[in-house]
Amino acid sequence: MKILLHHLFKQRVRSVFWKKSIASSILISIFSLYFLVAFGMMGTFAHKIIADTFPNKSVLEMFTRFVFSYYLVDFVLRFKFQTITSFDLQHYLFLPFSKKKLFHFPLITSLFSYFNILAFVILIPYFFIAVVKENSPLQSLVWFSYIYGGIGIVNFLSLAVKFIFTKKGLVGILLFAFVLTLLTLENRGVLSLSSGFYSLVHFAMLHPWMIVFPWVLLIIVYRLTYQLFLKNRYDEALFSKKSKAKRLISFQFLEKYGNLGHLIMLELKFMLRNKKTRTMLYSSAFFIFYGLFFYGDFDITKFKLIFAGVFICSSFVMNIGQIALSGYSSHFDGLMTLAIPVKTLFRVKYIIYASAMVLAYLLSTPYYFLDARIPLLNLAILIYALGIFPYLFFYVANFKYQPFDITQNKRFDMSGFNIRNFIPLIPVLLIPFCIHGICFLLGNVLFTYYILAGLGILGIATNSYWLGVITRKFHEQKYKLAEGFRSS
């Protein structure tokens, strides 16, 4: 264990990450620190804030219930962002290490992840400021066991789900939807699981022997995660390539449409036959549920509606658009020499991106039942997105020289995740924000939607012009791209 820790330390310190992107690592450190401080403050003042906001209720009850909702959100966030020590265990398998120890290592180190530290920072001040004062030491200990044990359970549960998710994309999406539904129900007061959780904790505080439950549950969840981890490792190392029965969708019907049909076919296969792109596809489908966060209290003048609309309609572009060219890095030379004019390549990409956005929009139309105006508002945003977003992402793609491996879906791998990825997002959100602000000052916020749709129509009408601009830039940049992609 000690040796592994030592190696891990070395790996981190010697990592190219530090050399490559000092700017982004500084930025990330600042953000991390900011959240730590913010959460610490929250923990310190939680007692007072809750007492002020809900004067009639028990502070401990409200805090405990808040923690439960925090679990749910935390679960989703961890699922998306938590990284496990992706320390390559393969190198150690043949060395005289106990295999069991080896596989326990990444799980145990996951306990010291940033998420758990955040939770710790918020809980500890509250625990000493509020809980210890009002309860007996034993009761406090019971409370702490439940709350912090819960964090541990969320920690391993999210890892377990993550292991399952990379196998079956749909399960993950359904889980997301499930958590979102729970949160919505909680918010609307239809079904309050959090008060159930509080009742349990409260009951346990009165019967201190129940302190064992969270720990037993934690051990069970840990075992489960461990088993899944063990099973998957084995699976990937030994059987991934050979024994799988393959289903290849070949979209042969598109052959009828000649040249263009073949190119569209190629793009579809690109997305469906590579692990990484497939995961991107699934996760962009998830964003259709994004509206649930925002359509809670429907106020047509709020900017957040535009924000939600943008994510619903264009999450596909925001995901796959990030690798518009770098996704081709393994066969870029081929595409450069085959008889495909570059502009045609971009045109086909545009068609795919546009279809995906329209599809996402159509899938989001059931929001009609939350408020009948939503589909209409989103239609304006869709038109805006169609006329602006693909161009932006294509243009920025011309400057991304790093190769991107689409065949690997290393769990918790953030390679190719680059601060540059956010550049197109700035205008994507900033332009509507500014227009919204101006319209707000002029007194008619709804006018924003007309302007956005107008911009979109302009963008769609001048499609050929923009693709031309992008193609010219491509020809300037292609040698740099090709060189970058070769040096993997």
Partner 1 sequence: MINIQDLQKEYNKITVLDIPSLTIQQGESIGLVGNNGAGKSTLLSLILDIIQANTGTVYSKNVAVNETEAWKFYTGSFLNESFLIPYLTPYEYLSFVASLHKITNEKRDAFFAENEAFFEIDPKAKTLIRELSAGNRNKIGILGALLPNPELLILDEPFSFLDPTSQSWLKETLKKFHQKGMTMLISSHDLAHITEISDRMVLLEKGKVLEDKPKTEETLSELETYFTVRVNRE
Query: What are the residues binding partner 1 (CB under 8 A)?
Result: 241, 246, 248, 250, 255, 258-259, 261-262, 265-266, 269-270, 273-274, 330-334, 336-342, 407, 479, 482-483, 486
The answer to whether the beta carbons of residues 368 and 374 sit under 8 Å apart is yes
Residues in contact with 428: Cβ distance below 8 Å, sequence separation at least 6, in sequence order: 310, 314, 318, 388, 389, 392
d(CA 258, CA 145): 65
Is the CB of 314 or the CB of 471 nearer to partner 1? Answer: 471
User: Side-chain half-sphere of 195: how many Cα atoms within 13 Å?
Assistant: 9
d(CA 450, CA 472): 32
The answer to whether the beta carbons of residues 381 and 313 sit under 8 Å apart is yes
Closest approach, Cβ 350 to partner 1, in A, equals: 19
Q: Dump the DSSP string for 116-155.
A: HHHHHHHHHHHIIIIIHHHS-HHHHHHHHHHHHHHHHHHH
Closest approach, Cβ 372 to partner 1, in A, equals: 43
Closest approach, Cβ 169 to partner 1, in A, equals: 18
Closest approach, Cβ 410 to partner 1, in A, equals: 17
Is the CB of 182 or the CB of 340 nearer to partner 1? Answer: 340
Closest approach, Cβ 351 to partner 1, in A, equals: 16
Is the CB of 261 or the CB of 375 nearer to partner 1? Answer: 261
Closest approach, Cβ 488 to partner 1, in A, equals: 10
d(CA 151, CA 181): 21
Closest approach, Cβ 352 to partner 1, in A, equals: 15
- DSSP-based three-state secondary structure for 34: helix
Closest approach, Cβ 482 to partner 1, in A, equals: 5
Is the CB of 104 or the CB of 343 nearer to partner 1? Answer: 343
Cα–Cα distance list, 66 to 58, 176, 184, 198, 463 (Å) = 12, 19, 14, 10, 49
Closest approach, Cβ 184 to partner 1, in A, equals: 39
Is the CB of 68 or the CB of 332 nearer to partner 1? Answer: 332
Tokens in use for 347? 């045109």
The answer to whether the beta carbons of residues 319 and 284 sit under 8 Å apart is yes
Is the CB of 162 or the CB of 276 nearer to partner 1? Answer: 276
d(CA 479, CA 485): 10
Q: Please tell me what DSSP assigns to residue 105.
A: H
Chain Cα centroid distance, residue 323: 16
Q: Which residue's entry shows tokens 């990330």? A: 28
Is the CB of 95 or the CB of 248 nearer to partner 1? Answer: 248
Is the CB of 163 or the CB of 332 nearer to partner 1? Answer: 332
d(CA 393, CA 160): 34
Is the CB of 98 or the CB of 337 nearer to partner 1? Answer: 337
Of 246, 408, 248, 256, residue with least CA distance to 327? 408
